[in-house]
């Protein structure tokens, strides 16, 4: 279990990834710079963006400012981006990565993900990711929103294994089977929408536990992830929440509380179902 914001875990290819990070989905390009800078100066060491978020320029600006303000170097930060669904041909994926690097002002990404599997377009895109990895432009290859059957298909042809699957995961969608499948194959799970985009924050069970610990409901949910060794990216564009959501390392949930939270599962999604999603 990670013990601080700077703590990392080792992925299957030896790359180290911080256990907790800031996601910038639905952060406007002009607001991304401040949010990212705030996160880095607060102590976050992982920033998660994507081609489709339209904020890679602002994110890159925030990275530059944040590293400077915190007296850090590029190597101290872990940056993830993702290739969108209409760029899954080999050539488009290479181009998408190059454009993301340019917008972010970086010469490599720590992790590059195929954002959604698509019907079967991920095959060509994954080949491009393998080549980008061999060239050193990405330090680790991963996927996102891959179900068990997508991973089975991928593992049949991949010459470089994906090290991570970023999926929707929160107390209403605990993803028990997919987590077990990935664990057996050394593919780390990273949770997206851990707060269910805010929709889980008024749950009475969580409110009760939050009251016991004198913590926010967001902190309780994020701590539930950390105590289960689930990597997590959480979003806020508000400085005070960026700070408070990261205060997760000075309290502990009991086994009973962890079980109560896990029992909230309803297999309920806030985002699209990867098998139903209209892909472009």
Residues recognised as catalytic: 53
In three-state secondary structure terms, 253 is coil
Chain residues binding ligand NAP by CB under 6 A are 23-25, 48, 115, 144-145, 166, 192-198, 201, 216, 218, 233-238, 241, 244-245, 271
Cβ 221 to ligand NAP, closest distance in Å? 8
Cβ 183 to ligand NAP, closest distance in Å? 19
Beta 8-10 vs 20-23: how paired, if at all?
A: unpaired
- Orientation angle between helical segments 204-213 and 217-227, nearest 10 degrees: 90
Using CB atoms, what's the residue nearest to ligand NAP? 23
CB of 81 closer than 8 Å to CB of 109 = yes
Strand extents, DSSP E, 11-161: 16-18, 20-23, 46-48, 78-83, 111-114, 141-144
Cβ 154 to ligand NAP, closest distance in Å? 16
Residue closer to ligand NAP, measured from CB, 68 or 146: 146
CA dist 85 → 119, 124, 145 (Å): 10, 12, 12
Residue closer to ligand NAP, measured from CB, 135 or 219: 219
In three-state secondary structure terms, 19 is coil
Cβ 3 to ligand NAP, closest distance in Å? 21
CB of 130 closer than 8 Å to CB of 155 = no
Residue closer to ligand NAP, measured from CB, 135 or 208: 208
In three-state secondary structure terms, 73 is coil
Residue closer to ligand NAP, measured from CB, 66 or 71: 66
Phi, psi of 85 (to 5 degrees): -60, -30
């Amino acid at each position: 279990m990670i013990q601080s914001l700077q703590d990392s875990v080792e992925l299957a290819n030896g790359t180290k990834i911080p256990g907790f990070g800031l996601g910038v989905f639905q952060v406007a390009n002009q607001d991304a710079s401040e949010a990212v800078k705030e996160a880095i100066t607060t102590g976050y060491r992982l920033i998660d963006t994507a081609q489709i978020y339209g904020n890679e320029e602002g994110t890159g600006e925030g990275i530059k400012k944040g590293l400077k303000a915190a007296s850090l170097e590029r190597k101290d930060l872990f940056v993830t981006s993702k290739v969108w669904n209409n760029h899954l041909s080999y050539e488009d994926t290479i181009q998408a990565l190059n454009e993301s690097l340019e917008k972010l002002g970086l010469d490599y990404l720590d992790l590059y993900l195929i954002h959604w599997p698509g019907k079967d377009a991920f095959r060509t895109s994954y080949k491009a990711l393998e080549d980008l990895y061999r060239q050193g432009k990405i330090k680790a290859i991963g996927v996102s929103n891959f179900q068990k059957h997508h991973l089975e298909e991928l593992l049949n042809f991949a010459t470089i294994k994906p090290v991570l699957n970023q999926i929707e995961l929160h107390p209403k969608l605990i993803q028990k089977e997919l987590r077990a499948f990935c664990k057996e194959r050394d593919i780390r799970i990273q949770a997206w929408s851990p707060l269910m985009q805010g929709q889980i924050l008024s749950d009475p069970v969580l409110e009760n536990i939050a009251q016991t610990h004198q913590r926010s409901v967001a902190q309780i949910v994020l701590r539930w992830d950390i105590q289960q060794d689930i990597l997590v990216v959480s979003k806020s564009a508000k400085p005070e929440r960026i700070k408070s959501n990261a205060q997760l390392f000075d309290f502990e949930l009991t086994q009973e509380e962890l079980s109560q939270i896990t029992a909230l599962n309803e297999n309920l999604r806030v985002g699209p179902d990867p098998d139903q999603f209209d892909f472009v």
